[in-house]
C-alpha cells in the first residue's frame, strides 16, 4: 500500500515539477539595469559628449594621423605608429586607428539617437533638440573624414535597419543643414532644460543655440569649394541665428582622469617615448616666430638635454623664445638618407651615449600647457567661429561686421583660448591686444585675406589640438601650402592623405552599400581619394 | 629403494600392489598395533582423534583402526620423527596424514586402502603419478546462454589451443584430467576452469568491462548493453587518459574517438580545449559538448580567453577534473544518443563516470605521475641577414633598439655590432632563443585512493595533488582534487548514490597571448642575430621595465616573467545525490539533485615599472582587477523507470522524468590604475578606481520520456521525447518539444556461415534544441536579450553618465546589442545510419556511421556596422549543415599467450556547410589575428569558419598590379581562403603486450583546414621568413595599372612589408600527422612482489606526449597553434607559447589489504 502511495506521489510530482513557468518573466528581467520607463534620458547626454571626444582625440586617429598629415606635429621615428601620420607609412595597426573615429562618432550618435527617442516620449523637447545637434556634430565628423556614409538610414538598428545605405556627402550636408535650421529655433527656455550636460552650458538653451548656429556655420563653410551658394545661404542663416559671442560661449570639457575619462592626447603622451619623440612641426614654430606670436611661449619648450630627462613628464623644458625650433616631417633616426641628422638646418642632438637624444633640440608640447590627463578639449570655440565669419565676410556674405573685425575677434579669442586648457597658457590681455593690433587682416587681396585667415585657423585649431579640424580646413582652403613627405613604402604615393579609408569591418558588415560607396570614389577606397566638398 | 620400486609400479594398481606388499614384508616393521586388519569389518571413512605429543606410530595405528587402511612404513624413518599434537573430528584420512606429516621430512601416498609413508624426495626426482589423459567436449556461452563462437580454449601449461565453433562448441583430446583450461574471447572476461577429470564442460563467459560488448552509460545515467544501442557511442577508459596525461584531460581524447576533434590553446598548463563532435555542430552554440559527470551536467565554460587584443587562457570547466578519478569517458556523438538532454545536447554529450569501489574489494592505490614539458622549436627562419632596416645593420643604440625585431639588415658577417645597450655583439646567427628562454616545465601528480564495499554499499575516496609548472617562468598551476563516490544501500529497495568532487585550483600567472602587452612570448620575432639574454633581467635598478624594441607595448618578456601577475584561483564543488527506490524488480523511481558551483578569484596586475603604464607624475602600473565570480547550476531530476518483458520475446525499458535547472552567475570586479606606493599591489593602493558588476539567472523546466523495445535480441527500437521551456525567451516562444526515434537490427544469426560473427545495422532520426546565446552582461548567457536596458557608468566630474545595455560601466566603445523579442530555441535535426561488424572470430571489428545533420533557426549574433548605432543583433536565421562518415576499426592481429597486438584506427570525414547566416545572409565576422588585416567569418555556402584575407590586385591577364613604388597593390576585398576546421581526421592506436611489458603509441592526423597565422605575417613583415631571402637586393615585379611591365625596383623591406599586408600570405595549411603519445609500461605482479609485504602490484610506465610532428605544411609554427579555443578563434594563431613535448613516468601502486 505504502509503495503505491509513494508511486502516485512520485508521478504527481513529476507532472507538477515540469509545468510551472509563471515566474519566467521575472527571472528574465535584468535586475542590474533600468528599463526605459525607469530611466532618465538626460543621462545619455553626457555619454554623447564623452564619446564625441573619444572619437576625435588621441590614438583614435587624429593624433596618429591628422596631426602630422597637416604637419602641426612631427615624429622622427621609424618604425612607429606615428609613421601613419608623419610619413603616410602604415604601421601594424593602421586599420584600427583608421576605424576608430567611425566607431566612436557613430557610438556617440547612437546615444544621441536613443536619447532623442526617449526624450520625445518623455516630452523633453530641449533634450531631444540638443541631442540632435550632437548627432549632427558626430555625423559631420564622420563624413568629413571618410566621405559618403550612412545617415538617412543610420542609427536605426533597433528597427532592423541593419544595412544602412551610404548617403552621398552632398545629401548628408543638405540634410544636416536643414535639420539644424529647423531644430534650433525650437529650443525653448520655458520647457524643461537638459541636465547632465558636461559643456559649460549646463543645459542652457541659449548656449546650445549658439553652439548649434556655430556648427551650422562650420558646415556651411565646408562647402565653399563645391557649392558656394549653399555655403553663403547657411553661413548667413547661422550668423543671423546667433553664433558664439565670446570665449565664454565656447563648447569644451575638462576631463576627469580619476573617473577614467582622460584627455586622450595627453593619455597617449603618458607613454614616455611618445612624449619624447612627438614635436611641433617645423612650419608651426616658424610661422609663430615669424610673427613674434606670444603663443609660442605657452605652447612650446625645448626638453632638457638627454633622452633620460626628456622622457620625464615632470621636467619642464626650456621656453626661451629663440631656442624654439620645429621639426620637419618625414625623418627617422635609423642612420640612413632620411635620418633626422640629414634634415636641412638640423640643430644637433642633446645627450650622449645611452642618453643620446638626436631630436633633443626640437620643441615639444609645453608640459605646463598640455600634459595633464584632465587637460580640457574644445568641441567648437569662438575663435574658430570668428575666423570662419571673417572668411565669409571676405567672400562678401552678409555676416555683420567686416572681415577685419571678425578676424581681430578670432585672433583675440584664439590667444585667450590657451588659458582654457591650462592657466599656464594665460597670455596677458595687454599682450593679446598689442599683438592683435599689430597683426590686422591683410585686405590687400581676397587671396591674401583668405590665406591669412586660414593660416590662423590652422595655427589655432592645430595648437589647441583639434587636429581633425586643422586638416579638414586645410583640405578645404589649401592653406597652409604643405610639402608632402615621400618616405619609402608610403600608402599615398607621396601625397598628403585627403580622406581616411572606410573601416575594414564595413566590407563585411555592410558589403553592398560599402561597395557602392567605394565605386563612387575614383581609385577605390584609398587615402588619396577626395570627399565631395574637396573636389 | 624398494619403496621407489613400489611407487613406480603404482599405476598398475592393485595386483602389483599386492606384490609389493609381499616384498615389503621382508623388512616390514609395521604393521602396527593390534595386527593387520586390512580385510576386516566396517570402517568409517573418517577419523576422530585427539592427542598431545603422540608418536606417529600411534597415529597410524588409530588410522588403521578407524579406517581400516594399512600403513606401510620403514620403522627407521618414523622412529626419529617429531611427535605431533592432533585434534580431529570426522577428518579424512588424507587430512589427518597431511596434518601430522606437516613440517616433517615425510610424505605419504595412498594406493587403494594402503598408505605408504616415506622420506620426502626432491621434487625433481619425484615422478608424479600421471593420470591417464582424457578427452573433453564443451560449450562456451555468454551470460544469457547464447553461444560464443570463436572463443579460444587453451590448456594451461601446454600448447593445446582450439576455438569454439558457431555453436560455441569445442573438443580437446588427450588432456591431463587435472589440467586447467583457459577460455577467452574478445569482449569477455577470461575464465579458467580446472578440469578435475570432467570430460564435458559448460563454460559461461562474463561480458568484460571496457570492451565492445560492454555496458554503456547513456543519457540520464542509464546503462545499456552496447549491442542494444541504436546509435554511435565510443567509450575511452580512464587508463588511456591518466598515464601520458595532459593538464586538461579533454586533450587526451584527441585522436581516440571517431568524429571527435580536440585542440588546446598554447596558453600553458590548464588551458582550455576546443572539443567538436561531428564537425562544427552550429554557429552559435560554442561547440563544446555537454559534459555529464555521474549523471549531472557540469559546467564547461571558458573562463576567459585571449583574442586579437591579448588576454590569457584561463581554462575551462573540464580542465578541473583529475584524470585519475575517471573510470570512463563515453562520447555520445549523435543526437539520438544525446536527445534526452534536450537543450544542451546539440553539440553531443560526453559522459564522465568516475571510479567507484566494488563490493568486497577493499583497495588502496597510490599513483604518481611525473612529467616534464619542453618547448618545441618549430621555427625555420632565415639566418643570412641580420638585424637592421633597409639593408643596413644598426649603427646607433636607437637604431639597434628600433630594429631588434627587424631582419632587414645586411648579411651577417660576424662583425661587432652595436646593440640597444651600447655594447657590441657579433653580427652572426643566434638560434637558441626558444631553448634558452623557456624552461623545462615539470609536473607532478600524486593521487591516493581508498575504496571498499560491503552489504552497506560501496565507497571510494581519492585525494590528488597536481603541481604543474609552465615552460614560462613563474607560471603554472596547482590543483587539489578530493573525490568521493559511493552507493549506500539503505534497505533492500532503497539506495542512493553519493558523489562529491571538490576542486581547488590555483593558477600562477597565466601568460598573456597574441598581443604585445604583458606577453612573455614577445622574443619570438627577434632578429636572427639577437640573443634574448641581453634583455635580461628586463628591468633597471629601480624596477622599471627596459624596453627592448621599437614598441613599448611589446613588453620585455623578462620583465613579464619577473613581475606580471595574472593569477586565477577556483574552488569548485560538484555534488550529486540520487536516491532510488525500487518498487519491484522492474519498476523504480529516482530523484537526483546535482549541484555544480564554481567560485573564482582572479587577481591581475600590470606591475609597477611597466613602461607604457607610466603617468606624467612618474607613477606606473595598473590594477587590472580583483575579480570574484561565482557560477552555479542546480539540477533537480525526477525519474521513473520500468523494465519489463511485455511478451516472451518483447522487452520494454521505459523512463519518464522531469528536470528543473537553474543557472546563476555573479561577477564583481574592482580595478584601478597607477599604484601610489610602488610595488604594493592591493586594490586600495591606486590613484583611480573602477568597478564592474554583472549578474544573471535563468531557468529551464523540462519533461522527458524514453522507451526502448527489444525483440528477441534481434530488433531494437528506441524513442525519446523532451519538452523544454526557457526563461530566457519571451512568453509564447518559450517551449519546444524534440523527438528521437532509432532502431537496430542484429543480423548475426543470418550470417553464421560467413566470417562475420556479429553484425548490427542501426538507423536514427533525432532532434535537439538549443537556447539563445549572447546577452547584455557579457556572459553569453542568453538572458535578458529581449529588451534594451539602460545603465549608468562612472560619473564625469560629478555628472552622471548613462550607458545602453552596458554593464561594464563604460560609455566608451560599448555599443548596444539590438534586442529581439521573437527568438525561439533553434533545432538540430540529424539522421544517422550505421553498422557494426565483428569478423574473423572478433579479431576485426568495424563500426561505421554516416550522418547528416542540419540546424534551423540558429540564433545568430550578427555584427552590425557601427552606423546602425548598434554593434550586433540577434537573428534566428542561422542554419548549419554537417555530413560525414565515421569509421572505427579495431583489430587484434596477433594474439598468443605471451604477446598480443591490438590496433584501433579511426577515420572521420566531415563536410561542414553554412547554409544561412543572418537575415541578409551576410558573411558573419568571427575572430581576427593580431595584425588585424584578415579574419574568419561564416560565409553562406562555404564551410565555417572561413579565413577571409586580402588578395593581390590582378589585371585582366591575372598579373599582379603594382603601384608607382613598384609595390603590389592590395585587393579591395577580403576574400575566402579556406575553412579553419579539419575535414578529415582521426587516429591510429597500437598496443602491444609481451608478458608483463606493454607498449603503445597513438598517431593522429588532421587534414583540410587552413590557419590564419600572425607568425607568418610577422616573419614576413620582419624579414625572418625564408621567403624574404629572395630579392634582398631589390625586387622588380608585376605590371602597372596600365598593364605595362613594372620598372620600379622596390627594396626587399618595402616589398615584403607590403606582401605581409596582403594577408593571403599569412594563410597556411593546417594539415598534420603527429605522434601524439607513446607509453612503455611494466607490471610487477603479485608473484614478483612476493617478498615485499606492502604491494599487491606495481605498474610503471614511461610516457611521452606530443613527441613528433611527423608531417606538417606550415612553416615556423605547429599547425595546432592557437591562442584561444573558441570556434571564433579557431585556426588563428600568433605570439602564444610554443607547443611542448612532454616526457615522464607514471607509477601505480596497489597496496595489499
Task: Tell whether the model's pLDDT for residue A222 goes beyond 90.
Answer: yes
Whether residues B589 and A50 touch (CB distance < 8 A) is answered with no
Element (H or E) spanning B576, and its range?
strand B565-582
Of B394, B688, B868, the CB nearest to A161: B868
Nearest to B925 among A50, A198, A508 (CB): A508
Mean pLDDT of the A41-60 span: 94
Of B1082, B1098, B1083, B1081, the residue nearest B1152 (C-alpha): B1098
The pLDDT value given to residue B129: 60
Cβ-defined contact of A157 to B403 (cutoff 8 Å): no
E-strand ranges in B55-105 read: 70-73, 84-92
Per the CB < 8 A criterion, the answer to whether A85 and A297 are in contact is no
Residue carrying C-alpha cell 629403494 = B1
Give strand pairing partners of B661.
B635, B700
Q: Which helix (H) or strand (E) holds B240?
A: helix B239-242
Chain A residues in contact with B698 (beta carbon < 8 A): 27-28
CA distance A268 to A262: 10
Tell me which chain A residues have a C-beta less than 8 angstroms from the C-beta of B659: 18
Could B818 and A34 be called an inter-chain contact, meaning their C-beta atoms sit closer than 8 Å?
no
C-beta separation of B470 from B372 below 8 A? no
Higher-pLDDT residue of A468 and B1094 is A468
pLDDT tens digit sequence for A360-404: 999 999 999 999 999 999 999 999 999 999 999 999 999 999 999
Residues of A in contact with B779 (CB under 8 A): none
The pLDDT of residue B17 is 46
Altogether, the residues listed in chain A come to a count of 535
Question: Which of A15, A153, A157, A196 is most worth mutating to test chain B (most B CB atoms within 10 A of its CB)?
Answer: A157
Its sign, for the CA torsion A453, A459, A465, A467, is positive
- List CB contacts (< 8 A) between B583 and chain A: 3, 6-7
C-alpha closest to that of B735 among B854, B823, B639, B638: B823
Task: Say whether A313 and B618 touch across the interface (CB within 8 A).
Answer: yes
pLDDT for res B1088: 80
pLDDT at residue number B257: 92
CB atoms A47 and B811 under 8 Å? yes
Q: Which residues of B touch A158 (CB under 8 A)?
A: 788, 818-819, 869-870
Q: Hey, of B865, B953, B1023, B1058, which one would you mutate to test binding to chain A, going by the most A CBs within 10 A of its CB?
A: B865
HSE of B492, CA atoms in CB hemisphere, 13 A: 2
**Grid cell locating B821:** 523579442
Contact predicate B639/B592, CB 8 Å: yes
Q: Which one-letter DSSP state was computed for residue A397?
A: -
CB contact under 8 A, A162 and B690: no
Choose among B97, B175, B87, B88: nearest CA to B134: B175
CB–CB of B814 and A107 under 8 A? Answer: yes
A137 three-state secondary structure: helix
Residue A164 and residue B967: Cβ atoms within 8 Å?
A: no
Nearest-CB residue to B800 (from A156, A196, A314): A196
CA B871, chain centre distance (Å)? 38
Give the H/E segment covering residue B668: strand B650-675
The number of C-beta contacts closer than 8 angstroms across A and B is 347
Q: Are A65 and A470 in contact (CB under 8 A)?
A: no
* Three cell numbers written together for A429: 590681455
Contact call for A313 and B804, based on CB within 8 A: no
Give the per-residue pLDDT at A15.
55
By DSSP bridging, strand B817-818 and strand B872-895 are parallel
Task: State the smallest CA–CA distance between residue B972 and chain A in angstroms.
Answer: 7
Cα→Cα distances B791→A34, B814, B871, Å:
6, 12, 17
Nearest to A93 among B818, B865, B932 (CB): B932
Would strands B114-119 and B70-73 be described as parallel, antiparallel, or unpaired?
Answer: parallel
Candidates A391, A430, A439; CA nearest to A411 is A439
Are A257 and B813 a contacting pair at CB < 8 A? no
Residues of A whose CB is below 8 A from B656: 14
Q: If you ran DSSP here, which 8-state letter would residue B344 be given?
A: G
* Structural contact between residues B882 and B278, judged by C-beta atoms closer than 8 angstroms: yes
Collect the ranges in chain B with pLDDT lower than 50: 1-41, 123-127, 209-213, 807-808
Cell of B596: 555544480
What is the pLDDT at residue B38? 41
How far apart CA B787 and CA B789 sit, in angstroms, is 6
Question: A496 to chain B, minimum CA–CA distance in Å?
Answer: 15
- Give per-residue pLDDT as tens, A228-247: 999 999 999 999 999 999 99
- The pLDDT assigned to B888 comes to 94
How far, in Å, CA of B386 to CA of B598, rounded? 51
Are B425 and B416 in contact by the 8 Å Cβ rule? The answer is yes
pLDDT category, A476, cuts 50, 70, 90?
Answer: very high
Rounded Cα distance between B968 and B961, Å, is 6
The rounded distance, in Å, linking the Cα atoms of B430 and B531 is: 6
Q: Cell digits for B1087? A: 608473484
Q: Which residue of A has its CA nearest to B730?
A: A25
C-alpha cell at B1050: 622596390
A507/B618 Cβ within 8 A: no
- Best mutation target, B551, B668, B695, B869, to test chain A (most A CBs within 10 A): B869
The C-alpha cell at B1037 is 615585379
B869 vs A156, A367, A373: nearest CB:
A156
- Mean pLDDT to the nearest integer, A459-480: 97
Contact (CB<8Å) B701/A18: yes
Q: Grid coordinates standing for B540?
A: 633597471
pLDDT of residue B125: 45
In tens, the pLDDT along A280-329 reads 999 999 999 999 999 999 999 999 999 888 877 778 999 999 999 999 99
pLDDT digits (tens, 9 = 90+) for A166-187: 999 999 999 999 999 999 999 9
CA distance A405 to chain B (A): 37
Cα Dmax for chain B: 135
Alpha-helix residue ranges (DSSP H) falling in B956-1087: 1014-1021, 1052-1061
Task: Report residue B840: phi and psi, to 5°.
Answer: 50, 60
Contact B583 A334 (CB under 8 A): no
Q: How far is CA A77 from CA A60, B399, B803, B1056, in A?
A: 20, 10, 39, 20
Cβ(B522)–Cβ(B555) below 8 Å: yes
Return the H-helix or E-strand segment holding B352: strand B349-354
Measure CB to CB from residue A261 to each of B392, B612, B796 and give the nearest one: B796
Beta-carbon separation of A356 and B398 below 8 A: yes
Please give, rounded to a whole number of angstroms, the shortest distance from the CA of A453 to a CA of chain B. 35
Alpha-carbon distance B693 to nearest alpha carbon in chain A (angstroms): 8
What's the whole-number mean pLDDT along residues A520-525? 90
Distance between CA atoms of residues B813 and A506, nearest Å: 16
Structure confidence by residue, pLDDT tens digits, A72-84: 999 999 888 999 9
Residues 6+ apart with CB under 8 A from B961: B952, B953, B954, B955, B968, B969, B1038, B1039, B1040, B1041
Tell me whether residues A111 and B802 touch, CB distance under 8 A. yes
CA distance B1060 to chain A (A): 10
Q: How far is CA B1057 from the centre of its chain?
A: 42
Select from A33, A155, A504 the Cβ nearest to the Cβ of B868: A155
Amino acid at each position: 500500500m505504502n509503495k503505491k502511495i509513494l508511486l502516485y506521489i512520485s508521478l504527481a510530482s513529476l507532472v507538477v515539477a515540469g509545468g510551472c513557468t509563471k515566474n519566467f518573466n521575472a527571472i528574465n528581467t535584468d535586475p542590474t539595469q533600468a528599463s526605459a520607463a525607469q530611466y532618465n534620458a538626460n543621462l545619455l547626454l553626457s555619454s554623447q559628449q564623452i564619446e564625441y571626444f573619444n572619437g576625435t582625440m588621441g590614438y583614435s586617429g587624429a593624433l596618429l594621423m591628422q596631426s602630422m598629415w597637416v604637419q602641426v606635429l612631427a615624429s622622427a621615428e621609424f618604425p612607429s605608429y606615428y609613421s601613419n601620420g608623419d610619413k603616410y607609412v602604415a604601421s601594424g595597426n593602421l586599420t584600427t586607428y583608421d576605424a576608430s573615429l567611425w566607431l566612436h562618432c557613430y557610438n556617440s550618435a547612437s546615444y544621441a539617437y536613443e536619447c532623442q527617442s526617449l526624450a520625445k516620449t518623455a516630452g523633453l523637447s530641449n533634450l531631444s533638440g540638443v541631442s540632435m545637434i550632437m548627432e549632427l556634430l558626430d555625423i559631420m565628423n564622420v563624413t568629413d573624414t571618410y566621405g559618403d556614409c550612412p545617415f538617412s538610414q543610420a542609427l536605426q538598428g533597433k528597427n532592423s535597419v541593419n544595412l544602412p545605405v551610404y548617403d552621398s556627402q552632398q545629401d548628408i550636408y543638405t540634410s544636416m543643414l536643414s535639420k539644424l535650421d529647423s531644430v534650433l529655433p525650437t529650443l525653448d527656455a520655458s520647457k524643461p532644460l537638459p541636465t547632465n550636460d558636461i559643456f559649460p552650458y549646463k543645459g542652457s538653451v541659449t548656449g546650445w543655440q549658439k553652439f548649434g548656429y556655430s556648427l551650422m556655420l562650420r558646415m556651411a563653410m565646408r562647402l565653399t569649394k563645391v557649392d558656394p551658394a549653399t555655403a553663403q545661404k547657411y553661413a548667413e542663416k547661422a550668423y543671423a541665428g546667433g553664433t558664439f559671442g565670446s570665449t565664454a560661449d565656447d563648447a569644451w570639457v575638462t576631463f576627469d582622469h580619476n573617473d577614467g575619462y582622460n584627455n586622450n592626447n595627453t593619455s597617449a603622451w603618458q607613454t614616455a617615448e611618445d612624449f619624447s619623440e612627438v614635436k611641433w612641426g617645423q612650419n608651426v614654430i616658424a610661422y609663430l616666430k615669424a610673427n613674434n606670436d606670444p603663443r609660442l611661449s605657452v605652447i612650446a619648450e625645448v626638453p632638457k638635454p638627454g633622452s633620460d630627462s626628456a622622457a620625464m613628464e615632470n621636467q619642464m623644458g626650456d621656453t626661451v623664445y629663440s631656442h624654439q625650433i620645429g621639426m620637419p616631417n618625414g625623418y627617422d633616426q635609423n642612420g640612413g638618407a632620411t635620418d633626422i641628422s640629414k634634415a636641412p638646418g638640423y640643430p644637433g642632438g642633446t645627450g650622449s651615449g645611452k642618453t643620446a637624444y638626436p631630436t633633443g633640440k626640437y620643441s615639444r608640447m609645453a608640459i605646463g600647457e598640455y600634459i595633464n590627463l584632465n587637460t580640457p578639449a574644445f568641441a567648437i570655440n569662438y575663435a574658430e567661429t570668428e575666423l570662419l565669419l571673417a572668411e565669409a565676410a571676405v567672400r562678401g556674405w552678409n555676416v555683420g561686421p567686416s572681415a577685419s573685425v571678425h578676424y581681430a575677434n578670432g585672433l583675440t579669442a584664439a590667444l585667450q583660448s590657451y588659458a582654457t586648457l591650462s592657466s599656464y597658457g594665460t597670455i596677458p590681455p595687454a599682450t593679446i591686444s598689442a599683438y592683435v593690433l599689430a597683426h590686422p587682416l591683410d585686405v590687400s587681396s581676397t587671396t591674401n585675406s583668405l590665406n591669412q585667415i586660414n593660416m590662423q585657423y590652422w595655427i589655432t585649431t592645430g595648437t589647441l589640438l583639434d587636429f581633425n579640424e586643422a586638416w579638414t580646413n586645410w583640405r578645404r582652403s589649401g592653406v597652409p601650402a604643405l610639402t608632402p613627405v615621400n618616405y619609402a613604402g608610403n600608402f599615398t604615393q607621396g601625397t598628403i592623405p585627403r580622406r581616411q579609408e572606410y573601416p575594414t569591418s564595413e566590407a563585411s558588415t555592410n558589403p553592398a552599400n560599402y561597395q557602392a560607396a567605394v565605386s563612387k570614389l575614383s581609385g577605390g577606397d584609398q587615402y588619396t581619394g577626395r570627399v565631395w566638398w574637396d573636389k | 629403494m624398494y619403496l621407489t620400486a613400489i611407487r613406480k609400479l603404482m599405476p598398475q594398481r592393485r595386483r602389483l600392489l599386492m606384490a609389493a606388499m609381499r616384498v615389503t614384508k621382508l623388512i616390514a616393521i609395521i604393521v602396527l598395533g593390534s595386527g593387520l586388519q586390512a580385510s576386516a569389518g566396517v570402517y568409517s571413512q573418517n577419523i576422530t582423534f585427539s592427542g598431545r605429543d603422540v608418536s606417529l606410530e600411534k597415529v597410524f595405528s588409530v588410522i588403521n583402526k578407524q579406517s581400516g587402511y594399512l600403513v606401510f612404513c620403514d620403522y627407521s624413518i618414523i622412529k626419529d620423527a617429531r611427535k605431533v599434537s592432533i585434534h580431529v573430528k570426522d577428518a579424512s584420512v588424507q587430512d589427518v596424514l597431511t596434518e601430522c606429516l606437516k613440517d616433517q621430512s615425510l610424505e605419504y601416498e595412498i594406493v587403494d586402502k594402503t598408505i605408504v609413508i616415506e622420506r620426502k624426495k626432491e621434487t625433481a626426482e619425484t615422478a608424479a603419478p600421471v593420470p591417464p589423459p582424457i578427452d573433453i567436449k564443451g560449450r562456451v556461452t555468454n551470460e544469457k546462454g547464447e553461444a560464443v563462437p570463436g572463443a579460444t580454449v587453451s590448456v594451461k601449461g601446454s600448447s593445446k589451443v582450439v576455438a569454439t565453433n558457431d555453436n560455441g562448441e569445442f573438443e580437446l583430446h588427450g588432456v591431463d584430467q587435472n589440467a586447467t583450461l583457459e577460455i577467452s574471447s574478445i569482449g569477455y572476461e577470461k575464465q579458467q576452469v580446472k578440469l578435475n577429470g570432467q570430460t564435458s564442460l559448460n563454460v559461461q563467459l562474463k561480458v568484460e568491462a571496457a570492451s565492445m560488448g560492454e555496458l554503456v552509460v547513456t543519457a540520464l545515467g542509464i546503462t545499456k548493453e552496447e549491442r542494444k544501442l541504436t546509435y554511435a557511442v565510443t567509450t575511452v577508459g580512464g587508463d588511456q587518459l591518466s598515464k601520458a596525461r595532459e593538464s586538461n584531460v579533454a586533450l587526451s581524447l584527441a585522436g581516440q574517438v571517431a568524429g571527435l576533434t580536440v585542440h588546446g590553446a598554447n596558453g600553458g598548463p590548464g588551458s582550455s580545449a576546443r572539443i567538436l563532435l561531428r564537425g562544427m555542430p552550429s554557429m552559435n552554440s560554442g561547440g563544446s559538448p555537454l559534459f555529464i559527470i555521474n549523471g549531472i551536467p557540469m559546467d564547461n565554460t571558458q573562463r576567459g580567453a585571449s583574442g586579437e587584443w591579448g588576454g590569457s587562457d584561463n581554462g575551462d570547466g573540464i580542465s578541473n577534473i583529475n584524470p585519475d578519478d575517471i573510470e570512463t569517458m563515453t562520447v555520445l556523438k549523435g543526437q539520438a544518443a544525446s536527445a534526452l538532454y534536450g537543450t544542451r545536447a546539440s553539440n553531443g554529450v560526453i559522459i564522465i563516470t568516475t571510479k567507484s569501489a566494488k563490493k568486497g574489494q577493499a583497495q588502496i592505490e597510490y599513483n604518481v605521475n611525473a612529467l616534464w614539458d619542453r618547448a618545441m622549436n618549430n621555427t625555420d627562419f632565415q639566418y643570412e641577414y641580420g638585424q637592421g632596416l633597409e639593408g643596413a645593420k644598426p649603427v646607433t643604440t636607437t637604431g639597434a633598439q628600433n630594429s631588434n625585431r627587424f631582419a632587414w639588415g645586411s648579411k651577417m658577417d660576424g662583425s661587432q655590432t652595436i646593440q640597444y645597450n651600447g655594447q657590441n655583439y657579433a653580427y652572426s646567427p643566434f638560434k637558441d632563443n626558444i631553448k634558452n628562454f623557456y624552461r623545462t616545465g615539470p609536473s607532478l601528480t600524486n593521487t591516493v585512493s581508498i575504496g571498499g564495499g560491503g552489504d552497506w554499499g560501496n565507497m571510494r575516496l581519492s585525494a590528488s595533488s597536481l603541481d604543474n609548472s609552465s615552460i614560462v617562468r613563474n607560471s603554472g598551476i596547482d590543483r587539489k582534487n578530493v573525490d568521493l563516490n559511493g552507493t549506500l544501500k539503505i534497505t533492500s529497495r532503497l539506495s542512493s548514490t553519493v558523489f562529491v568532487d571538490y576542486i581547488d585550483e590555483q593558477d600562477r600567472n597565466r601568460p598573456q597571448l597574441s598581443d604585445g602587452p604583458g606577453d612573455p612570448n614577445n622574443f619570438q620575432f627577434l632578429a636572427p642575430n639577437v640573443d634574448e639574454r641581453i634583455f635580461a633581467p628586463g628591468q633597471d635598478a629601480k624596477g622599471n621595465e627596459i624596453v627592448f624594441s621599437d614598441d613599448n607595448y611589446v613588453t620585455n618578456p623578462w620583465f613579464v616573467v619577473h613581475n606580471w601577475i595574472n593569477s586565477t584561483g577556483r574552488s569548485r564543488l560538484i555534488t550529486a545525490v540520487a536516491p532510488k527506490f525500487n518498487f519491484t524488480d522492474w519498476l523504480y523511481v529516482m530523484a537526483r539533485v546535482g549541484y555544480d558551483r564554481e567560485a573564482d578569484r582572479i587577481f591581475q596586475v600590470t606591475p609597477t615599472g611597466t613602461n607604457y603604464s607610466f603617468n606624467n607624475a612618474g607613477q606606473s602600473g595598473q590594477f587590472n582587477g580583483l575579480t570574484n565570480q561565482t557560477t552555479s547550476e542546480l539540477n533537480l531530476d525526477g525519474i521513473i523507470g520500468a523494465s519489463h518483458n511485455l511478451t516472451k520475446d518483447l522487452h520494454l525499458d521505459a523512463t519518464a522524468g522531469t528536470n528543473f535547472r537553474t543557472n546563476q552567475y555573479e561577477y564583481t570586479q574592482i580595478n584601478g590604475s597607477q599604484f601610489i606606493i610602488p610595488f604594493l599591489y592591493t586594490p586600495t593602493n591606486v590613484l583611480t578606481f573602477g568597478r564592474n558588476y554583472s549578474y544573471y539567472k535563468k531557468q529551464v523546466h523540462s519533461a522527458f520520456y524514453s522507451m526502448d523495445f527489444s525483440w528477441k535480441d534481434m530488433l531494437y527500437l528506441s524513442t525519446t521525447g523532451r519538452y523544454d521551456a526557457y526563461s530566457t525567451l519571451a512568453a509564447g516562444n518559450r517551449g519546444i518539444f524534440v523527438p528521437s526515434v532509432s532502431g537496430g537490427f542484429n543480423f548475426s544469426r543470418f550470417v553464421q556461415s560467413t566470417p562475420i560473427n556479429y553484425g548490427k545495422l542501426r538507423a536514427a532520426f533525432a532532434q535537439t534544441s538549443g537556447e539563445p546565446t549572447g546577452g547584455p552582461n557579457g556572459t553569453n548567457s542568453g538572458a535578458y536579450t529581449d529588451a534594451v536596458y539602460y545603465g549608468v557608468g562612472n560619473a564625469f566630474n560629478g555628472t552622471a553618465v548613462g550607458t545602453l545595455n552596458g554593464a561594464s560601466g563604460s560609455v566608451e566603445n560599448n555599443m548596444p546589442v539590438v534586442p529581439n523579442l521573437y527568438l525561439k530555441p533553434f533545432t538540430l535535426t540529424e539522421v544517422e545510419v550505421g553498422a557494426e561488424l565483428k569478423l574473423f572470430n572478433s579479431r576485426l571489428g568495424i563500426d561505421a556511421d554516416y550522418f547528416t545533420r542540419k540546424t534551423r533557426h540558429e540564433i545568430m549574433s550578427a555584427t552590425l556596422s557601427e552606423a546602425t548605432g548598434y554593434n550586433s543583433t540577434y537573428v534566428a536565421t542561422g542554419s548549419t549543415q554537417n555530413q560525414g562518415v565515421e569509421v572505427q576499426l579495431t583489430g587484434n592481429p596477433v594474439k598468443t599467450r605471451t604477446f598480443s597486438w591490438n590496433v584501433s584506427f579511426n577515420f572521420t570525414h566531415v563536410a561542414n556547410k553554412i547554409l544561412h547566416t543572418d537575415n541578409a545572409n551576410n558573411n558573419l565576422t568571427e575572430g581576427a589575428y593580431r595584425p588585424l588585416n584578415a579574419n574568419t567569418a561564416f560565409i553562406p555556402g562555404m564551410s565555417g569558419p572561413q579565413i577571409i584575407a586580402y588578395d593581390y590586385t590582378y589585371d585582366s591577364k591575372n598579373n599582379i598590379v603594382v603601384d608607382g613604388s613598384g609595390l603590389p597593390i592590395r585587393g579591395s576585398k577580403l576574400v575566402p581562403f579556406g575553412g579553419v576546421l579539419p575535414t578529415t581526421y582521426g587516429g591510429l592506436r597500437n598496443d602491444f603486450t609481451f608478458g608483463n611489458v606493454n607498449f603503445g603509441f597513438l598517431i593522429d592526423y588532421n587534414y583540410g583546414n587552413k590557419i590564419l597565422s600572425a607568425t607568418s605575417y610577422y616573419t614576413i613583415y620582419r624579414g625572418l621568413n625564408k621567403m624574404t631571402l629572395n630579392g634582398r637586393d631589390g625586387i622588380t615585379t608585376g605590371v602597372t595599372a596600365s598593364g605595362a611591365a613594372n620598372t620600379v625596383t622596390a627594396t626587399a623591406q618595402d616589398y615584403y612589408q607590403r606582401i605581409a599586408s596582403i594577408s593571403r600570405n599569412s594563410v597556411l595549411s593546417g594539415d598534420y600527422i603527429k605522434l601524439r603519445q607513446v607509453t612503455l609500461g611494466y607490471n610487477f605482479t603479485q608473484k614478483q612482489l612476493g617478498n615485499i609485504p606492502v604491494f599487491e602490484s606495481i605498474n610503471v610506465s614511461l610516457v611521452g606526449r606530443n613527441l613528433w610532428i611527423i608531417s606538417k605544411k606550415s612553416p615556423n609554427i605547429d599547425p595546432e597553434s592557437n591562442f584561444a579555443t573558441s570556434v571564433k578563434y579557431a585556426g588563428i594563431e600568433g605570439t602564444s607559447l610554443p607547443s611542448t613535448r612532454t616526457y615522464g613516468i607514471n607509477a601505480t601502486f596497489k597496496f595489499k589489504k
